Chain A
Amino acid sequence: MTVTLRINGSACRFHGDPMTPLVDVLRRERFLTGTKAVCREGFCGACTVEVDGEAVMSCLRPIGLLDGATVKSIEALAPGDTALHPLQAAFEAADVVQCGMCFPGMVMSLAPFLRENPDAGRNEIKAAMVGNICRCTGYERIVDAVMNFLDSQKMEQANG
């Protein structure tokens, strides 16, 4: 079967088993290894990408269902030499990254959530993170950084 889709802005044609999960197409065919396949069962969130603007776990998404879709992976969030996305910058500034393997997925799932919930509080952020496991950090400092990010977004808006 042939599937045509856009990945990070470029047209892409996939030939092969339509049951191949998107994460394998990204990693093995496109060498977009920022998307991590950690559990392959929909528990950890490390494989999160945006499909048509929505955060999805790419390990659970067969490529056969994605004909005509637009996929954005972590590599496209702040491409080339451009500045980090402000959420990435907040994580960097707070020194929260450890092994780092969960962070691409963490960023890809929190960025759309925070876009839609700019007033989220600590508990809502933690609730939004249930699908993103981190084995290294113990979460709290990630939440601190997210709160910093939301505060600075609000400041920016207030300053117009």
Chain B
Amino acid sequence: MVDVSSTVMDLPRRDARDKLRGRTRYTNDRARPDTLHAVLLRSTVPAGRITRLDVSAALECPGVHAIVTGADAPGLHGIGIADHPLFATDTIRYHGEPIACIAAETEAEAKAALAAIVLDVEPLNPVLTMAEALAPGAPLIHEDWRAYEVLTEGGARDGNIAWEAKSVRGDVDAAFARSDVTIVESSIAVGRQSHVPFEPRVAIGSWENGRAHIETSTQVPWTVRNVTGRVLQLPPGRVRVTVPPVGGGFGLKFDATIEPITALLARMTGRSVILENSRQEEMATCLCRENAEIRIRSAVTAEGEIVGREAVVLMDCGAYGGEQVFLTTMTSHTLGGSYRLGAVRLVSRAVYTNTPPNGAFRACNGVYNSFALERHTDEICAAIGMDPIEFRKRNVLGNGDLGPTGQVFEGDVLGPMLERMDTLRANTGTLEHAADGRLYGRATALGTWFIFVGPSAATINLNADGSATLVTSGVEIGSGTMMQSLPQIVAGQLGLHPDQIVVREADTDAAGLDAGIGGGRTTVSIGAASVGAAAEVREKLLRTAGEMLQTAPKDLVLRDGRVEISGRPGSGAAISTVVAHAQATTGPISGTGSFTAKNTPAMAGCAMGHFIDALDIPVFVVHEAEVAVDPDTGHVDVLAYRVVQDVGRALNPRAIMGQIQGGVVQGLGYALHEEVTITGDGRIAQDGFETYRVPLAQDVVPVVADLYEGAPSMGPLGTKGAGEVPILAVGSAIACAVSNAIGKPVYRLPLTPPRVLRLIHDIEPRPDYPHIAPNWTDNTLR
């Protein structure tokens, strides 16, 4: 039984005090005096061939204990395809790629020894853009792409196309050929976004009893374990990963990166070794939200029915496939989601370039696909002369409607959420007067994303003092899930107070498999596994109590730390007494639970190369922005921001509000001023706080949010993850509002003042994609 009435709401965070006192020890606070310091030799060209690498002189430098290179770690890892070595060996594929790593007594000694490494590189012509990568006869970034091990079947691949996913439903050609439709086409471009977590990627490796032990700032302990096993060619069971509190992730730490290097160095030296990216390295090799190029076309009737839609999305994965391979899947669900569509075909290609690899960033490609979709939607409205909110209300997916892959959506959610936005706006009022002579714009945008489900495991041990220990592979990355939702959920199930639930930090030796912390999955997946574990504990507890109290277990309830006879408060026995009895008679009480995706069906043959064919738990948002644009400077001032967010059920409304404020502000940075550009020699130009401008206190406004509860969810107590999606529709809401303010279409983010000025004066070049064929089918591989 899953009952929310016994769940404590708005639980304070148990980690806040230590964090405020500066006592929390993040991974990069854990170097001890005897820890060796490691420093990477990184490539200074974007493409090249290594003709000589000699570390013997560096090994003789003062303080140096060991040096590792690609020869020490021959295995390849990746998502979908194993294309990624730990170190560049023969071929250099991006500027900043690790080539060797030195461990020395101090960081200064390790750095000094870098100069003694002999490295000869024959530079090659780099392929820096997707247009270049897709040009006929382009150099292959992975010459051996055919030989790579395929880890997930189904994706089409070819040369510089690391992965292609597509979905096709209905007869799109027939829809576009209809005589009663208007055809609207939009081309959209976005650059990268850098996460800038306050704690960079950092790991401490040790070698203990013949096994690697890696302490690391990660969102994915099991991925680190498995990747380390692969690249070191060890059984993954010989790798243990533990995770201290993480100083921010936002998706950047959803991949294994430098961790295996520390294990290698620890094995060689017998010492603990810390490897921490400097801020410059962190930003120069950030696994950014990828840059992308999108062309989308729709055939729409005068009444506003979308009878056909097609799109091509090119995603730059950088030098290695990584998350973009997986994320090709999400193009269908985001660009093809939200609205009812007649026929639809979408293709998404992850394209290799000689640039730093990209990765996952909060709501990933959902953010720019929503931007493309919502700007396109407003262009449709302009073309057919319909009010944009009215158009959305008519066309959003409702109960029983088909998604792009033929999934049947449950429940009317987006429609009522749009109504709730009307109410919210009526309550807050609008701020047109605050524009004060500047150009005013307002826009409402919506978006669909998903809860990334996948496997989780949980164990609960009930202790003789009435407390319970929850053991999972969950990690506290800052969102508070491990500190709030999980103890709340478990306590609610066991009649305990959340303070009595001890939550164990992730340790792959202690807890079962987990897909990681991200994609809004923690509350849902680890929460569901924890509910399963609690059910077993409860059953054992009631059985023992039943014997003690001579009462049938079905007549017993768990409440306030007691096993009571139902309807008789204060009766029965304290849980601690029952646990002590069990320990003496049948043995300690523990339980396990597990969870994984339910694999919601899609229509056969609709989705090709997809990692997930349908969304088990879709999540929806409606955002609204009001902006004032200074026509002389192009500066965009956000006047007000409103959110209606589908949360399933809110266990911690206060914490969700905190996630919404934080996520929207990251989105404002993306929409307005966080800009990553690639230099002519393949570097990320913005590699520090001076050049990469994240939002400051004076840039932001209080976000007003309404939490929409009650949409269907398979999460425990009806929850959905709430931390991932607040960023989803910010780019779109701001872009649509700015477009309304200046009366010109917006095709690119971020909307920096110079770009806005160029838009106002009609001198901002429109995205032009000669490498995207006019005929959709010519953009697909088979």
Contact = CB atoms under 8 A, between A and B. Distances in A.
Interface string A121-151: 0000111011011011111111100000000
Interface string B181-200: 00000000000000111110
B763 interface: no
A139 B19 CA distance: 17
B478 interface: yes
A74 B21 contact: yes
B22 interface: yes
Nearest to B199: A101
Contact of B689 (A44, A93, A99, A104): A44
B279 interface: yes
Interface stretch (B333-341, B512-520, B700-708, B750-758): B700-708
Contacts of B698: 126-127, 129-130
A40 interface: yes
A33 B658 contact: no
B695 A130 contact: no
Nearest to A139: B697
A102 B198 contact: yes
A75 B195 CA distance: 28
Interface residues of B, number: 54
A88 B696 contact: no
B690 A43 contact: yes
A141 B661 contact: yes
Contact of B700 (A38, A39, A136, A138): A138
A130 B29 CA distance: 26
Which of A43, A137, A140 lies at the interface centre, i.e. has the most chain B CB atoms within 10 A of its CB? A140
B16 A95 contact: yes
Contacts of B418: none
Interface string A28-52: 1000111110111101101000000
Contacts of B10: 95
Contacts of A75: 21-23
B22 A104 contact: yes
A100 interface: yes
A141 B559 CA distance: 35
Interface string B273-298: 00000110000000000000000000
A73 B21 CA distance: 10
A54 interface: no
Nearest to B699: A139
A66 interface: no
Contact of A101 (B12, B247, B657): B247
Given A100-B478, A137-B662, A84 B17 contact: yes
Contacts of B696: 129-130, 133, 139
Given A43-B690, A99-B247, A99-B248, A136 B662 contact: yes
B246 interface: yes
Contacts of A141: 657-658, 661
A135 B694 contact: yes
A124 to B, nearest CB: 11
A25 B91 CA distance: 40
Contacts of A136: 248, 478, 662
Contacts of B15: 97, 100
A153 interface: no
B24 interface: yes
A34 B12 contact: no
Nearest to B22: A34
B470 interface: no
Nearest to B197: A135
B611 interface: no
A54 B700 CA distance: 27
Contact of A95 (B12, B197, B697): B12
Which of B22, B24, B245, B694 lies at the interface centre, i.e. has the most chain A CB atoms within 10 A of its CB? B22
B25 interface: yes
A107 interface: yes
B20 A39 contact: no
A136 B727 CA distance: 12
Contacts of A73: 22
Nearest to B26: A101
B480 A41 contact: no
Contact of B19 (A35, A103, A133, A140): A103
Q: Is the interface of B mostly helix, strand, loop or mixed?
A: loop
B661 to A, nearest CB: 4
Given A127-B698, A139-B700, A98 B662 contact: yes
Contacts of B278: 40
Contacts of A32: 22
Contacts of B661: 137-141
A98 B29 contact: no
B664 interface: yes
A158 B282 CA distance: 49
B654 interface: yes
B21 A140 contact: no
B279 A33 contact: no
A130 B12 CA distance: 28
A77 interface: yes
A78 interface: yes
Contacts of A125: 697
A96 interface: yes
A31 B343 CA distance: 62
B761 interface: no
B598 interface: no
Contacts of B480: 98
B594 interface: no
B477 interface: yes
B212 interface: no
Given A88-B21, A138-B661, A41 B16 contact: no
A39 B688 contact: yes
Given A129-B696, A135-B196, A137-B658, A92 B12 contact: yes
Interface string B20-43: 111111100101000000000000
Nearest to A28: B31
Contacts of B246: 99
B21 A101 contact: no
Interface string B389-431: 0000000000000000000000000000000000000000000
B389 to A, nearest CB: 26
Nearest to B248: A99
A71 B665 CA distance: 34
A21 to B, nearest CB: 13
Contacts of B703: 138, 140
A143 B479 CA distance: 19
Given A28-B31, A100-B19, A133-B689, 4 more contacts: A75-B23, A99-B248, A103-B20, A138-B666
9 contacts: A43-B688, A75-B23, A95-B10, A98-B478, A99-B245, A103-B20, A129-B696, A138-B661, A141-B657
Interface of B: 10, 12-13, 15-17, 19-26, 29, 31, 195-199, 245-248, 250, 278-279, 477-480, 654-655, 657-658, 661-666, 688-690, 694-698, 700-703
Please give me the 3 A-B residue pairs with the lowest Cβ-Cβ distance, nearest first: A34-B22, A100-B19, A99-B478
